Amino acid sequence: MSNNREYNDNEMKLRQDRKKKVESFHLELDDNVLDKDFSNTEKPRKKSTDNNRKPSPPITDSQELNSFSGGKTRRELQKNMQKADKRQKKEAKKREKRKAKKNKRVFTLIWLIMVVMAGVVLSKYLLTGINDMLAISRPEDNQVKIKIAKEDKFEDIVNKLESSGVINDPEFFKLYAHVVKAEDHFEAGTFTIKTNLDYEAIISYLEEPYEVEKTVTVQITEGMSIVEIADLLADKGVTSNKDDFLDMCNSDEFDKKYDFIKKLGKANDNGRYYKLEGYLYPDTYTFYENEDPSMTVSRMLSNFAEKNVNTLAKADGYSDKVSIQERAEDTGYSFDQILTIASLIQAEAADEKDMYYVSSILYNRLNSGNAYDYSKLSLDSTVYYPYRDAKSVPKSMGGSNFKSTYDTYNFVGLPIGPICNPGEAALEAAINPKKTDYYYFCHNSETGEAYYASSFDEHQYNMSLAGVL
């Protein structure tokens, strides 16, 4: 009995001591420890040194250690962690808002800059277009020819207006024509139009068929001289004054555009009657009535440049394509000299086959020196140049008494320049003469049959056969 009471007293004392220790216990934990799960952690028990002491009964759930870091419970800790998480999310949202606000300001600034730039571009476009629409940017009062074909589309017409200087802003003109619904109302024909008209006047002008100018088709044949071309153009009504055309053919107006013309030197400085003789390409042309002579000449020079200078073709002896001008200069003569030889061939030969024999005779004489007095070409076609014959010489120029500076009976070598405008066949013969030992030629005046001779006696005999003597 006494043993039971003693045991109870010891047990009560032991519990009181444990309670005091628990109440006085404080545990300091860092953040890493807080992340650990203590739900299954058992409280370490101190071993009793009393062998006779009975084991203590297990501690109940209400007595289990549940205090961390200053006595806060696990539930409170979780709440605090949730609050901290909310604060972090709130701070993150604030940062995102500040960032979005900053980005919005940057975007707004860029957008404003783009709007201003677009406004500047649009203003410039409108200003340029309106200036062109009102003809403010086209003050010069010039006249140009515009030819509108039936098959031309609106785009083609606008391109022609721009290239001729009638308008400067094709896109704005298209917009204007679309607004006023004028795209499908332009008439086909040839128009003389001023370059300082506003858009409304241009459209009204091109819609009126009675303003259309008449065109004239003219064939310039091989061997025609500039004087003969001038007479033909006057007869066809292309030019109202042939002297204006002749003056244009002896001017320096085309030197800047064509290098092969510039090489001829200044007009009237080298003894030529007409600077452009030989360079008006024989072809069939469509001209306007009462056309500006500079436009007429320019068209023929452009055709010459296209056929003889700009166009490259395969030729014997060349690995690459070459122009006629390059082939001519490879002969050892200048392009102008080859053109002069071609003009002589064109004027003297009876046909294309004869051209190569005449070319051979001319080269043989030019290369002979003075040994046999062959250096003078002695060609009838040069005696009255720039006229065809004595009958063609105006009385004001002396008629049959006219003395030409191109007369090859009076000087050695080639004349100063071409005597007519040769065709392609004559140029080919001038570049590639036939190889012969002939120095003379003559033709039957009725049949055109050609006779060739190596000596003067043989030539005399040929002339009798040809009926020349």
Q: Tell me the per-residue pLDDT of 208-252, one tens digit each, with 9 for 90 and over.
A: 654 456 789 999 999 999 999 999 999 999 998 999 999 999 999
3-class DSSP state of 150: coil
> What local confidence, expressed as pLDDT, does residue 66 receive?
45
Q: Residue 145: beta bridge partners?
A: 192
Residues 6+ apart with CB under 8 A from 318: 327
Q: Residue 147: beta bridge partners?
A: 190
Pairing of strands 450-453, 440-443: antiparallel
Question: Closest Cα partner for 41 from 68, 21, 20, 23?
Answer: 68
Determine the residue type at 107.
F
> What local confidence, expressed as pLDDT, does residue 69 receive?
45
Torsion of CA 315, 320, 326, 328, to 10 degrees: -20
Q: What's the CATH fold of domain 143-213?
A: Dna Ligase; domain 1 (3.30.1490)
Regarding pTM above 0.75, the answer is no
Residues 6+ apart with CB under 8 A from 147: 160, 189, 190, 191, 215
Torsion of CA 340, 343, 345, 346, to 10 degrees: 170
> What local confidence, expressed as pLDDT, does residue 63 receive?
45
Which regions of the chain are under pLDDT 50? 33-44, 46-50, 59, 61-71, 210-211
> What local confidence, expressed as pLDDT, does residue 27 receive?
52
> What local confidence, expressed as pLDDT, does residue 367 receive?
93
Determine the residue type at 297.
V
DSSP-derived letter for residue 186 is P
